[in-house]
Amino acid sequence: MEKRRPMLVLVFSLMAFAVLTVLPASAAVSVSGYVKLDIQYSDKILGGGAPSPSPAATPLDTNKEADNSQTLLDARQSRVRVNFDDTVGGIKLSGRIETDFFTGDGNALVSNSRHLRLRLAYAQGMTPGGFTMRAGQTRTLLSEYGDNLVGGVGAPEIINENAHFTQLQARQPAIHIAWTQKAAGGDFTIGGGVEKNSVDVKDRTGLSAAVDERQGSGQELPLFGGGVRYRSPLFSVFARGAISRPQVVFEGTGDDEDKTVWLGAVSVEVKPTTMLKFVGQYWFSDGLNRINGTFDDAALVGTSLEGVEAQAFLVGGQLRATKDLRFNAAYERMEADNDPKIFDLSATSADKETIQTFWVNFIYRFWTRWDTGLEYQWAKVESFGASEGTLNLVNFRLRFYF
């Protein structure tokens, strides 16, 4: 690792120099981010994704090899971001490049590190009339997270980030446009955009020809989405939806198959006092795996493409005991439709039908630029058959902001 540090410093220096050379002299450039240490104990071996696994990774009780406890330490979710802000002709210009080291390739078992991953890379402009355009790799327009151009409603605060598994969280190339105006003591935003369309097709029957993986993201049509949000000091609501028509190509024959898939969601947030906040979310999905990443978005049955239908909900809350101490809790559940053309519905089936989790944590800022937190999480998966599995996790974090 010591040999890599000079190279990382050089990479960040070159990035910052490149940004500075193309920006006007009046532009404000800042570098921010955090160093994050995760420590996680689990009573099952979860495999890929650690130390930030989704409850969907909970193994069934029939998986005896996974029935062992483990403790993991990791710092790959440390992040670095470069922001710029400027105003030209009354137009507010801004942009962000954000990276971390949480990639799925490389070797984190031997070196305890992986290469940089591009999380976000976008630029935007906002007019005095409230119109905003954002382009680049950005959060999907359907997400409840605050770095969505329209959203930012209903996201719980969690230490194990992927434990919020009913999230709509894809980050992908897109162009988004939104318009915001003051209304009824708050603000009203409406927006839309086009995003990269990807598919993740699984052959659940073993009867069909293989699918050409190159078609997974090289789609004829992008994903089209839109949303509307109202936000006030007392409550906020965010409704949105998307539609696309993914296509797959069979290897060897060159034949293709496509199917229209769609997604809709609504999130709410209520703040009865400055100390208390409640959040909720419901969504339904027929496909769109890049948005709903828990279930495969489609299944190949023979030569027919069938969309996997699923729905999910979240309810949770936060108590801010002091300005530096807050407590969070939530319950989440996701369920796939029992389509016999896609899933095995026999008593011996291992295809997962429902996933649920409950977690509770506290987060405390104990020093300037430092915070820590401790979280307990319980998860359960159930198959269409008679098998199930449960999981207990304890997550600890220590984070320094810069």
Architecture of domain 4-401: Beta Barrel (2.40)
Measured CA to CA, the distance from residue 286 to residue 339 in angstroms comes to 12
Prediction pTM value:
0.86
pLDDT confidence of residue 344: 78
171 in Cβ contact with 198 (< 8 Å)? no
pLDDT confidence of residue 172: 87
116 in Cβ contact with 11 (< 8 Å)? yes
Cα–Cα distances (Å) from 97 to 31, 75, 81, 187, 302, in that order, read 10, 20, 5, 27, 43
| Residue 154 CB coordination number (10 Å) | 26
- DSSP 8-state secondary structure symbol assigned to residue 106: S
Q: Domains of the chain: which residue ranges?
A: 4-401
pLDDT confidence of residue 395: 95
Measured CA to CA, the distance from residue 384 to residue 382 in angstroms comes to 7
Measured CA to CA, the distance from residue 156 to residue 315 in angstroms comes to 9
Rounded to 10 degrees, what is the CA torsion of 302, 307, 311, 312? 90
- The one-digit pLDDT tens for each residue of the chain (402 residues) are 444 444 544 455 445 545 545 555 567 999 999 999 999 999 998 865 567 788 888 888 988 888 899 898 888 899 999 999 999 999 999 999 999 988 766 666 666 667 888 999 999 999 999 999 999 999 999 999 999 999 899 999 999 888 888 888 888 899 999 999 999 889 999 999 999 887 766 555 443 445 555 566 677 888 899 999 999 999 999 999 999 887 777 776 777 778 788 889 999 999 999 999 999 999 998 865 556 656 655 666 766 777 778 899 999 999 999 999 999 999 999 998 888 877 778 888 888 889 999 999 999 999 999 999 999 999 999 998 889 999 999 999 999 999
